Structure 1
Amino acid sequence: MDALRSALQPITQNLPTPVSAFLTSLVGPDCYRTLFLDIDPSSTVCLKLLISKVLGIGIIAASSVVKVPQIIKLLSSGSAQGVSFLSYALETASYIISLAYNVRQGFPFSTYGETALIAVQNVVIAVLVLRFSGKAMEAAGFVAALAVLGGTLFREEIVGGGILSILQATTGILAVA
């Protein structure tokens, strides 16, 4: 381990400022020092934190494209036959509820970011389904309704924390419906 540490420390102790700032924001200053400057993997707390953060970022990155193949297929076929608008509408509503809940709870984006990215892709799919079904005006109404829903749920003075918690508990049912 000492040979590896002596080989890596000149690199990790001279990382560009943006890289060291990102890593510090990812794991905190103490774990940054332990894992990257001291190259001490014996801290299980820091290792678990790093693995958790990296997995969260990986999930977010993967979710940013998870529904892109379906979007491409819809666009190339010009048809939404066999795709349920209601399914996407309910799933998107559940994601908006989850987003509002997580943001209002102050959770880190890495714990719920995939929800935001999949929700955006769902909106695109739902709009395409409506558009290809000859319902372009309904698509505009759908997007407006989602904006109102999001604007309402994100505001504590409109929807209290207790109600939002109850709504959050129902999201699994909405997504499956």
Structure 2
Amino acid sequence: MIITCASKNRMGYIHLMPVNNNNLHALYEEHLNNNHLSKYLNIESINIPISSDFQYGDLLNKMRISNITYKQASSDAKEFIEEYQNDLDINGYMEGVELNLSKKEFLTLINENAFQIFKCSWHSKDFIILTLDISKNVFHENNIIYPFCNEKDAFAIVKIEKKYKTGFIKGIITSREDLYPFSYLSKPEFILLDDVK
């Protein structure tokens, strides 16, 4: 899974789907060549922990599942506004998350194993949960689960900040191996574009 952090602008981007676009792939290669993460961490030691723990399906049941899709909630219904511009494909599945991400926050998320995969059974179906924050922030019962489409085979876990109604993506839940391949999500490719030369 490719996650970039541009420390100068405090901007991050999480590629939830593999990068197939030629222009994006060229940009990714350029970013790889300018990756400064090894200044702060041993890149070889970074991993995305994987757990087959069925209790996480129970934790999902404590959250409200929305009757409308993520796209509807963030645009038509205006249940929340996106932090920045998250990318959706033509069917409403989330391709990537744009977020405010400082170097310190990025390093902390990596060190605290915020990026994890849980295999679980939920609503009598096998899913994986990809966390994008520490577990207590992902599985908080006040978060809301939004389906990406009517098929309800992939979802976003969203924390809605009350003051400005900003929606923060805390994780995704998916049974769509074709869109969110396990082999891609479980491979950490974290890139820090540092402003320090």
User: Normalising TM by the smaller chain, what interval?
Assistant: under 0.3
> Which structure is richer in relative contact order (CA contacts within 8 A, separation 6 or more)?
2
Greater share of residues in strand? 2
TM-score, scaled to structure 2:
0.25
Q: Which has the larger radius of gyration?
A: 1
TM-score, scaled to structure 1:
0.27
